Amino acid sequence: MTKLLEINHIQTLCFAKGFSPARLNVATSPFLISRRGGGGYCSNACIPYRLKFTCYATLSAVVKEQASDFSGKEAALLVDELRSNFNSGRTKSYEWRISQLQNIARMIDEKEKCITEALYQDLSKPDLEAFLAEISNTKSSCMLAIKELKNWMAPETVKTSVTTFPSSAQIVSEPLGVVLVISAWNFPFLLSVEPVIGAIAAGNAVVLKPSEIAPAASSLLAKLFSEYLDNTTIRVIEGGVPETTALLDQKWDKIFFTGGARVARIIMAAAARNLTPVVLELGGKCPALVDSDVNLQVAARRIIAGKWACNSGQACIGVDYVITTKDFASKLIDALKTELETFFGQNALESKDLSRIVNSFHFKRLESMLKENGVANKIVHGGRITEDKLKISPTILLDVPEASSMMQEEIFGPLLPIITVQKIEDGFQVIRSKPKPLAAYLFTNNKELEKQFVQDVTVKDLPFGGVGESGLGAYHGKFSYETFSHKKGVLYRSFSGDADLRYPPYTPKKKMVLKALLSSNIFAAILAFFGFSKDS
């Protein structure tokens, strides 16, 4: 007797086997899953992917990973097709660029409900958080590009050398060609679409590879890009490691990756084979330094907003750990506890405003951090978990061992260690002892401490981007456009006024005139031209 398996059983099985829910192959007829819940299932027709499976009365299942139908050969054909269309000049015009950007803006407006639904299915993101953190930010970036595109595309006039007089020169932005965007799962809409906006604004052909760890968003992006954008120059390739490997084996004009340092090294190695430039948006252990002279309530609320109310800590610029003084730590912890209850109630695990952990693998990773020797007894708040819901309550720990994985690795979850120091200035040494973070936060009213923080802590700058372990390159706003552009110098010279000073034979007189001109000494140049020196 055949029996349908409940959605949550499928999800558990997928995670246990290490498969993405969108990549299952089964033996019965396909059906569209229609339950609002976790891990890549849709509750309406917004997200049209189907799962097949065979289940028996014992609720055992025969599941095998679907063989990838996107091979290296198909990846090569895809890139060749897009390069041919790019070389036709199709993407270079203002009209093409602005039309695609306008289509993205229209897509966001018309499909906001579907986008919100996908983000809930992948991460249980609250509607307002999904709107503020992903939908609104993406729309703002798109509208800025639409508004400023003509200015960004306009050539920049620059001065020329006296050796090329008479002449004029410009710096012209030109598209790089065919670019690959590999996005992350924690903000699967924002981190996919915003780099694509920059690539399109710059006039490139684009392939987007969304993260398979957020299958609902991945499937939705593939559907929406196919529906709203020019498929001859903009494509979405779904899948996991095999598909990504096939794509990385191709020659690209730029690779833009958002994710972790381990995969970034693989991408750098693949890019090096073709000397392909890369942008790596990574993460790191982002610290928050809290002085004792702050408004405690405001500081606590902002730390919570940057940690637990931001995708449950699954954010590259989320607060990873806090540094404060030993004397002030208890006051800060009490303030955090009070505001956490205000934000999420007495039982945060039941709060609809707290996102879940993305999958079982990352849940187990965070759970193992909590269970390490010398860590569990450092919990001063929270520490509760519900594996079936993939939720961990907001957890505060005090002075965990420096050698623990919690202090050596990026946490990327709802665990917040607080490190105490004797003097707040000692916190700079703690920060410098770790790889450069993508962001760092200071809470103080002390101007001298603020100045020292800006000088001593190396992090990102506007534009948004990292250094070292936190990444390479930058984007957002005009910087997204520039990231996907090549600055080309163009020199214009007429056929008239062609002086023979720079041509052989090189006489002492020519040398004197040119040296004077290049040092901006017009008087000496005139004297030299007529055979005099300024000393004569």
Residue with tokens 């190695």: 269
The residue count for the chain: 536
Q: Which amino acid is at 30?
A: P
Phi-psi category of residue 364: left, alpha or beta, with phi > 0 → left and psi -120 to 50 → alpha: alpha
Structure tokens at 488: 């080309």
In whole angstroms, what is the distance from residue 193 CA to residue 138 CA? 7
Contacting residues for 424 by C-beta, under 8 A, at least 6 apart? 289, 291, 292, 323, 324, 325, 444, 449
| DSSP SS3 for 507 | coil
Q: Which amino acid is at 71?
A: S
| DSSP SS3 for 405 | helix
> CA of 145: how far to CAs of 92, 188, 197, 480, in Å?
15, 20, 8, 9
DSSP H helices in 202-260: 215-228, 241-248
Q: Are strands 178-182 and 254-258 parallel, antiparallel or unpaired?
A: parallel
Q: Which amino acid is at 183?
A: S
Number of helices (H), then strands (E), belonging to the chain: the values are: 19, 23
DSSP result, 283-334: ----EEEE-TTS-HHHHHHHHHHHHTTTGGG-STTS--EEEEETTTHHHHHH
Query: 157 and 74 in contact (C-beta within 8 Å)?
Result: no
In whole angstroms, what is the distance from residue 128 CA to residue 131 CA? 5
Query: 186 and 315 in contact (C-beta within 8 Å)?
Result: yes
Compute the Cα dihedral for 354, 359, 365, 367 and give only its sign: positive
Compute the Cα dihedral for 473, 477, 479, 483 and give only its sign: positive
Which burial class, exposed, middle or buried, applies to 368 when counting CB atoms under 10 A from its CB (0-12, 13-18, 19+)?
exposed
In whole angstroms, what is the distance from residue 103 CA to residue 225 CA? 10
**Cα distance between the two ends of the chain:** 111
Query: 194 and 475 in contact (C-beta within 8 Å)?
Result: yes
In whole angstroms, what is the distance from residue 107 CA to residue 114 CA? 10
Query: 324 and 418 in contact (C-beta within 8 Å)?
Result: yes
Which residues are marked as active site?
281, 316
